[in-house]
Amino acid sequence: MSFTLTTLKQSIQDWTENDETTFVGELDFFIKNAEERIFKLVDLDYFRKNVTGSMTSSNKFLEKPSDYLATYSLSYVKDSANVFLLQKDVNFIQEYTANPATTGSPVYYASFDVDTFIVAPTPDSSYSVELHYFYRPASLTTDDSGSTWISTNAPDALLYACLVEAYTFMKGENNLLQLYNQRFGEAIQRLKGYAEAQENIDSYRTGLPSK
């Protein structure tokens, strides 16, 4: 089983037996909140991305991708080798680069603001950069007929999270809300097992994960 936006909306209405206009108008909101729950609870490879770019000589700032949330690693190429920068507080970087003559091969980086990194020393040349980072994928609500990794590979977690949101909105019976929360928790544990075991274990070297 997998969901598109259309089929997930229909399932939410079927399970709640609710097609009232105001309720239907909130379905996208329920789905986005459900996706956010999963996004914050499980560390999936699906939430990771790699991009390449470049540092510019004499420019200590480096633009972040528009969908950036957090860094796993930031590196650049020097003499055909990858050099990984050390993350520091922005105040450390600003103090380090206070002297305009502090240029060279970058060693440190920090998040300067929501759109920009700052590196130190200030690059003395242009360098190719690779950023491995945590990002928020596009929501299922952006495409009526499309699907996402979550809607295809974790449809039960997505559905139960949506039902929790929907039933909370409806101020439904507490015992049913608890049931949906329990089912969501069970689905999340299965998904975490996948994220923390199958995604990150080489069975040839470590053996299969124990249950």
Look at residue 199 in the predicted model and tell me its pLDDT: 47
Predicted TM-score (pTM) of this structure: 0.78
- Residues 109 and 119: beta-carbon distance below 8 Å: yes
Give me the torsion for CA of 158, 161, 163, 164, rounded to 10°: 180
Look at residue 144 in the predicted model and tell me its pLDDT: 79
pLDDT by 10-residue block (mean), the chain, 211 residues: 94 96 97 94 89 93 93 94 94 82 88 94 94 93 88 95 96 94 95 69 45 48
Look at residue 103 in the predicted model and tell me its pLDDT: 86
Look at residue 132 in the predicted model and tell me its pLDDT: 96
SS (H, E, C) 84-110: ECEECCHHHHHHHCCCCCCEECCCEEE
Look at residue 193 in the predicted model and tell me its pLDDT: 86
- Residues 64 and 82: beta-carbon distance below 8 Å: no
**CA-based torsion, 145, 146, 152, 154: positive or negative:** negative
CA distance 194 to 202: 13
Could you please report the per-residue DSSP string of the chain?
A: ----HHHHHHHHHHHHT---HHHHHTHHHHHHHHHHHHHHH---GGGEEEEEEEE-TT--EEEPPTTEEEEEEEEEEETTEEEEPEE--HHHHHHHT-STT-EES--EEEEEETTEEEEESEESS-EEEEEEEEE-PPPGGG-SS---HHHHH-HHHHHHHHHHHHHHHHT--HHHHHHHHHHHHHHHHHHHHIIIIITT--HHHH-SPP-
